[in-house]
Structure 1
Amino acid sequence: MIRTLIVDDDFRVAGVHAGFVEEIPGFAVVGTAHTAAEARARVRELSPDLILLDVYLPDESGLAVLPELQTDTIVLSAATDAKSIRTALRAGALNYLIKPFTTRQLSERLLSYARYRNLLNDERGLGQEDVDRAFRTLHEQDRTITPKGQSTATSRLVSDQLKAAARPLSAAEIAGELGMARATAQRYLTALAESGAIEMRLRYGATGRPEHEYSWHG
């Protein structure tokens, strides 16, 4: 069992990610942390095999604490600048997954990590072919995956609209702002909610049925 620690400043997002991980065979969540200081303490206390680490922590950047953790780490973050990504990889991150992502994107990277870990878990000496195979395995499933019928560009437009909004928005409001069908906006919003990037709750009006509204979690 691969013992996994979730580090994310947002309690709800950490819970969503923990739920994703618990559904993957061979993985177990041993704890969560919401600050860099808490991450350090949890690593000392729990000795996890793998950390899923956010960059934006309230007390310190996840990139600053990463080299200290001395634990296999996959970064899950909304930080998309090249400098952050290079810094994460230079500090030892095994992979970097940009929010919002789907459960499939996360699960495929975790399963690749499990196979990579298994290939390097042999007590015998390893040859160059073994090392090459392990590294190929670690990244063999790395590719952009969006739900059928959806595009990454449109998903980003919906995400950006929610990030910029001063209040929660409904699917109809998103559709109106972006000039798309309400059903299309709803599909993208549902995928974002499943990724944990946005929060979905019910909006109750004065009359009629309640509708879902969405706000950015990041």
Structure 2
Amino acid sequence: MIRVLVVDDDYRVAELHARYVAAVDGFEVVGTARSAAQAVELDQRLRPDLVLLDQYLPDRLGAEVLPQLTGDVLMVTAAADTAQVRAALGGGAVGYLIKPFDAAALTDRLVGYARFRSQLAADRTLDQEQVDRALRALHGTDRGGRPRRPRATPTGELVAEAVRAAADTVTASELAVRLGISRPTAQRYLADLAADGTVRVELRYGAAGRPEHLYSWSGGQ
């Protein structure tokens, strides 16, 4: 079981990410932190395998405390400028996921991380191909074949066209009803479209409960 510490100053986002993690086989959340100081304290005490680390914390930037963390670090943050990305990756983060994202995007990173750990688990000498394979696993590029093109199928085309034609943002549930498909299917295609830059994703918080993902056309290819 891969033990995960979730760090985010917004308790709603921390809870959401914790639920995403808990839904992935082989992963468990061992704690949540809402500040850099608490992240370091819990990391030292709980010794997680992986830390989901936000950049914008109330006391310090996440990248500033990254070297103090014993677990591997996946940055999960809205910080998208090149300087902050370089600082985090240069400080040792194994990945960088820009908010907002949905469960599918985080699941892909976690599955890749699990494969990466598995391939480097044994105490042995590696050749170059084994190192390259582990890195491809980490970054999700070792699945074989060509990358998924979400609009290469009729359903993908319908989902993309529905978002493009919408006058405002839409949710996966709304698209599912409109197109007569299941919500998970709509969500999967929307996640693919967001990953290739075709649509934008933002979060909307209601009075209670988990936030809603809103999708809009970005004018991507």
Q: What is the Cα deviation at residue 150 of structure 1?
A: 4.7
Matches for 1:70-85 after TM superposition, within 5 Å: 70-85=70-85
Matches for 1:11-30 after TM superposition, within 5 Å: 11-30=11-30
TM-score scaled by length of structure 1: 0.71
Alpha-carbon separation, structure 1, partners of 2:92 and 2:160: 33
Which stretch shows the higher mean deviation, 93-102 or 126-135? 126-135
Match of 1:68 in 2: 68
Q: What is the Cα deviation at residue 68 of structure 1?
A: 1.2
| Secondary structure at 2:55 match in 1 | coil
Alpha-carbon separation, structure 1, partners of 2:31 and 2:38: 11
TM-score scaled by length of structure 2: 0.70
Alpha-carbon separation, structure 1, partners of 2:38 and 2:149: 32
- Partner residue of 1:181 out of 167, 191, 200: 167
Ranked by relative contact order (alpha carbons within 8 Å, sequence separation 6 or more), the top structure is 1
Match of 1:169 in 2: none
Amino acid aligned to 1:199: Y
Mapped contact 1:52–1:76 kept (Cα < 8 A): yes
Alpha-carbon separation, structure 2, partners of 1:189 and 1:100: 18
Match of 2:122 in 1: 122
| Secondary structure at 1:200 match in 2 | coil
Mapped contact 1:17–1:196 kept (Cα < 8 A): no
Over 4 Å off, 4+ runs: 141-148, 188-192, 213-216
Alpha-carbon separation, structure 1, partners of 2:13 and 2:127: 41
Alpha-carbon separation, structure 1, partners of 2:98 and 2:129: 31
Match of 2:112 in 1: 112
- Taking a change above 3 Å as real, the CA distance of residues 141 and 16 of structure 1, as seen in their structure-2 partners, is farther
Q: Deviations over 1:101-147 (max 9, x none)?
A: 12111101100000000000012222222111111111125989989
Consecutive unaligned residues of structure 1, counting only runs of 5 or more, are 155-178, 203-212
Mapped contact 2:44–2:70 kept (Cα < 8 A): no
Mapped contact 2:20–2:103 kept (Cα < 8 A): yes
Match of 1:138 in 2: 138
| Secondary structure at 1:12 match in 2 | helix
